[in-house]
Amino acid sequence: MNLLTRAIGTVALSGLATAAPAAATLVTSSTFDGNVAATVAAFPAAGASAPSGSLLVSGVPAGSTILSATLYADNYFQSVTPSAVFGATNLGSVSAFGTSGDASNYKWDVTGLVTGSGSFSASASGLTNNYGLALVVVFSNASLPLGRVVVNDGAQDFNNAGVGAGNATLFNAFAGPAAVWIHTGADNTIQSNETISLNGTVIGGPIDENIGGFASLFQLFGTAVNGLNTVTINSPQGDVFDWDIAVLQTSPGGSSSVPEPATLLLLGSGLVALGRLAWRRRRS
């Protein structure tokens, strides 16, 4: 078979794990409180075994402290043991940290290798059907409003989930203006009309490979509540894609200021840059 178509006060880090609904396989891996913010960068690859490219990190103020930087890769149909290189540093090989259906996802800690905004080269090998690499960066700076950044990751394969399928991931956050980053791989434009919602309010969509190469990256905006917040992707036409990253940034002080995304800024519901129309073979 083949898939071609397919950050109140002093900064604190806690491994705040939140119980997820049965359908979700993205769970909280880290939480940061203080004068913190996040940004996500990604580049696409159309079913590659050895993706390579540049990850453009922007919006990190000079003098910031990098609290966390994580490199991600996905793979379809086989669970493998890929290796990665970030800049000139060989990161070694890893096993999947998240699996769902035919999707398996991988990550490497590159915190010491990201110094701020800039372009960072990255590559991976030992994959079979990969749809690009992504980089999640969390940083602190005294100029930032007080808030919280929650990073959820894992794997959620929408393949054959059925028409109208929806999957959710939960965040423990503060009330106030919120920014949400979503990354997916192996999507297409054949099935469309997916929606991304925060606490039941649609804030974005569809998921139509908006950065090309069957990959999508969104930065979206909404309002968070105190306690549990739910981000849901609904696929009314039964699309095929792997959801691997969801990041929620909230600023309870009321500031709506967030850094620009590394690739594509999407404001509100329905504002999307459509990717190129591409066909991929469905699995036999």
In a domain, 162, yes or no: yes
**Which are the contacts of 72, defined by CB distance < 8 A and separation ≥ 6?**
105, 106, 107, 133, 134, 135, 136, 153, 183, 244, 245
Q: What domain count does the chain have?
A: 1
In a domain, 274, yes or no: no
In a domain, 92, yes or no: yes
Q: Which residue in 127, 144, 119 sits closest to 242, CA to CA?
A: 127
What tens digit of pLDDT does each residue of 49-64 get?
999 999 999 999 999 9
Least confident range from 78-82, 103-107, 153-157, 255-259: namely 255-259
Distance of alpha carbon 223 from alpha carbon 176, whole angstroms: 6
In a domain, 1, yes or no: no
Q: Domain range spanning residue 47? A: 12-250
Instruction: Please state the pTM of the whole predicted model.
Output: 0.83
Distance of alpha carbon 259 from alpha carbon 93, whole angstroms: 32
The pLDDT mean for the chain works out to 83
In a domain, 5, yes or no: no
What tens digit of pLDDT does each residue of 247-259 get?
999 988 644 344 4
Angstrom distances, CA of residue 40 to CA of 139, 193, 212, 217, 247: 12, 23, 16, 8, 9
In a domain, 158, yes or no: yes
Pairing mode, strands 52-57 and 36-48 = unpaired
Distance of alpha carbon 270 from alpha carbon 151, whole angstroms: 24
Q: Which residue in 7, 42, 46 sits closest to 120, CA to CA?
A: 42
pLDDT at 273 over 60: no
In a domain, 102, yes or no: yes
pLDDT at 278 over 70: no
In a domain, 281, yes or no: no
Distance of alpha carbon 65 from alpha carbon 114, whole angstroms: 10
**Chain centre to alpha carbon of residue 254:** 24
